[in-house]
Amino acid sequence: MAEQILDKAAKDGTADKADAVSGTMSTTAAGARIPTVIADDVHIVYRVNGGPRGRGSATAALSRMLRRKNAPGMREVHAVRGVTFVAYRGESIGLIGSNGSGKSTLLKAVAGLLPTERGKVYTDGQPSLLGVNAALMNDLTGERNVILGGLAMGMSREQIRERYEDIVDFSGINEKGDFITLPMRTYSSGMAARLRFSIAAAKDHDVLMIDEALATGDRKFQKRSEARIRELRKDAGTVFLVSHNNKSIRDTCDRVLWLEKGELLMDGPTDEVIKAYEKETGK
Ligand SMILES: Nc1ncnc2c1ncn2[C@@H]1O[C@H](COP(=O)(O)OP(=O)(O)OP(=O)(O)O)[C@@H](O)[C@H]1O
C-alpha cells in the first residue's frame, strides 16, 4: 500500500510541485526524492469514559449531573478521518485548520504516540514531537530540564554537555539574568516555549514536529527559530509545524496540509493553501 501511495504521488506530480518550492535539497544525487513519513488512510479515535451523547442545553447537562445517573458508556471521538500524504526529506510542512480539526492528534500519531484505528503510518527514522506542552518538569531548573530533555531525545550525556551552552544561548533564557538556574515554573510561557524549542533544535532530527512553538516566542526568537528550522531541513530532516499563525507558516513552510473535522481538505504549496484558508476563514 505504501508503494501505491508513493506511485500516486509521483504520478500526481505532488512531489515535483513541492520540489519546485523547496529547491533541490530533498533529492538524492540520482534525483530520487526520499520519503520520511507516509500516512496511509489514517484514522484516529479517542475513547472517553462518560455518559451517553447528550443532546440539549447546558441546563440539561447540569440536571443529568445532579440526577447522578451517570450511565456507563464509552464516547468515541473520531479525531482524524482517512488522512493520506507522503512527506519527503527536506520538506517543511505546515498543518493548519480550525480548533479541534485534528492537527495535534495527527502529529501524535506520526510520532507513534497514538495508535491508529485504521490505516498506517510509516516513518523513516525516529520522529520527535516538540509540543509546547512537551513533558519537561516544572519543578526542575532550566539547567536540569536541558539535561532531561536531551536524554529524552536520545542524546548522550557527552553530547548534551557539548551543546549545553548553545542550547542556553539559543533560548535567550539568560539574557535578562540567571534564569537557567531557576525552576521552570518561574518562567513566562514564552520563555518555557523557547527553552523547549532550543532543546529540541539542538539535535539533528530525521523528522521534527513542532506544535505551535513558534507562535509563542517574540519576533526576534521566531526569526532565530525559522533560521534553525531551515538548517535542520538542510541537514536532511523533515519538519512539521502546527500553528494558528499564518505568518509563521508562510515564513517557515513550503507545503501545507489543511485539516478540517479530521479530514485532509487541501495539500499543496503554502501560498495556495493559505490563500484558500484565509478566504474560507476570513482571516
Ligand atoms: N485526549 C483526548 N481525548 C478525547 N478527545 C480528544 C483528546 N484530544 C483531542 N481530542 C479531540 O479530538 C479532536 C481533535 O483535537 P486536536 O487537539 O487534534 O485538534 P487541533 O486541530 O490540534 O486543535 P487546536 O487547534 O485547538 O489545538 C477534538 O474534537 C478534540 O476534542
Residues 240-263 have pLDDT tens digits of 999 888 888 998 899 999 999 999
Q: Can you tell me the distance from the alpha carbon of 250 to that of 89, in angstroms, rounded to the nearest whole number?
A: 19
Phi, then psi, of 275 in degrees rounded to 5: -60, -50
Q: Which residues contact 214 (CB under 8 A, 6 or more apart)?
A: 197, 222, 225, 226, 241, 243, 245, 248, 252
**pLDDT higher at 74 or 179:** 179
For 31, other C-beta atoms within 10 Å of its C-beta total: 8
Q: Is the CB of 131 within 6 Å of ligand 1?
A: no
Residues 20-33 have pLDDT tens digits of 333 334 455 556 78
Cα 21 from chain centroid? Answer: 21
Instruction: Tell me which of 104, 110, 116 to substitute to probe ligand 1's pocket, judged by most ligand atoms within 8 Å of the beta carbon.
Output: 104
**pLDDT higher at 211 or 99:** 99
Percent pLDDT > 90 in the chain is 43
CB 267 within 8 A of CB 255: yes
Q: Which three cell numbers stand for residue 153?
A: 531525545
Please give the pLDDT value at position 131: 61
Q: Which residues contact 202 (CB under 8 A, 6 or more apart)?
A: 150, 155, 163, 166, 167, 170
Please give the pLDDT value at position 210: 83
Question: Looking at ligand 1, which atom is closest to the CA of residue 48?
Answer: 4
Q: Is the CB of 35 within 6 Å of ligand 1?
A: no
Instruction: Tell me which of 49, 75, 78, 101 to substitute to probe ligand 1's pocket, judged by most ligand atoms within 8 Å of the beta carbon.
Output: 101
Give SS3 for 93: strand
Residues 83-117 have pLDDT tens digits of 999 999 999 999 999 999 999 999 999 988 899 99
pTM here is 0.77
Nearest CA to ligand 1 atom 8: 105
Residue with grid cell 523547496, as numbered in its chain: 22
**Among the listed residues 22, 45, 26, the one whose alpha carbon sits nearest the alpha carbon of residue 237:** 26
Question: Looking at ligand 1, which atom is closest to the CA of residue 101?
Answer: 21
What is the average per-residue pLDDT within 33-39? 93
Instruction: Give me ligand 1 centre to Cα 99, in Å.
Output: 8
Of 11-15, 43-47, 111-115, 138-142, least confident by mean pLDDT is: 11-15
The interface predicted TM-score of the complex, written ipTM, equals 0.98
